[in-house]
Amino acid sequence: MKHLLTAATACLILFGAAMAQGQGRMYVIESSVTAIKIGKEYALSDTIDVPAGASIRAVMPSGKTQTIRGPYSGSVADLAKGQKLNERVLSWITTFFETGGARESTPGTTRGMQPASAGFSWTAVPVSDDGTICVIRGQALQLVREAAQAAERIAIVDVERSRKGDARWERGSRITTWPPTVDVRSEATYTLLVPDLPPRQVTLRVLENAPADDDILAELATRGCRRQFDVWMQVHTKGKAS
Q: Where are the domains of the chain?
A: 22-85, 124-237
CATH of domain 124-237: 2.60.40
Q: When comparing pLDDT for 22 and 43, which is higher?
A: 43
Q: When comparing pLDDT for 99 and 182, which is higher?
A: 182
Spatial CA neighbour of 184 closest among 207, 167, 168: 207
- Quick one: pLDDT at residue 178? 97
- Give the pLDDT band (50/70/90) at residue 241: low
- Give the pLDDT band (50/70/90) at residue 239: low
3-state SS of the chain: helix, strand, coil percent to 5?
25, 25, 45
- Quick one: pLDDT at residue 172? 86
- Quick one: pLDDT at residue 53? 96
- Quick one: pLDDT at residue 114? 45
Distance separating alpha carbons of residues 31 and 41, to the nearest angstrom: 13
> Residue 6: is its pLDDT beyond 50?
no
Provide the 3-class DSSP secondary structure of residue 167: strand
> Residue 34: is its pLDDT beyond 80?
yes
Average pLDDT for residues 58-87, to the nearest whole number? 93
Average pLDDT for residues 94-115, to the nearest whole number? 61
pTM score: 0.83
Handedness of CA 82, 84, 89, 94 (dihedral sign): positive
- Quick one: pLDDT at residue 118? 56
Categorise residue 162: left if φ over 0, alpha if ψ from -120 to 50, beta otherwise.
left
Adjacency order of strands within the sheet including 55-59: 41-42, 26-31, 55-59, 65-69
Average pLDDT for residues 87-92, to the nearest whole number? 94
> Residue 22: is its pLDDT beyond 80?
no
- Give the pLDDT band (50/70/90) at residue 21: very low
Spatial CA neighbour of 163 closest among 141, 178, 181, 188: 181
Q: Is 232 in contact with 213 (CB distance < 8 Å)? A: no
> Residue 130: is its pLDDT beyond 90?
yes
- Quick one: pLDDT at residue 150? 75
- Give the pLDDT band (50/70/90) at residue 40: very high
Q: What is the overall mean pLDDT for the chain?
A: 85
- Give the pLDDT band (50/70/90) at residue 102: low
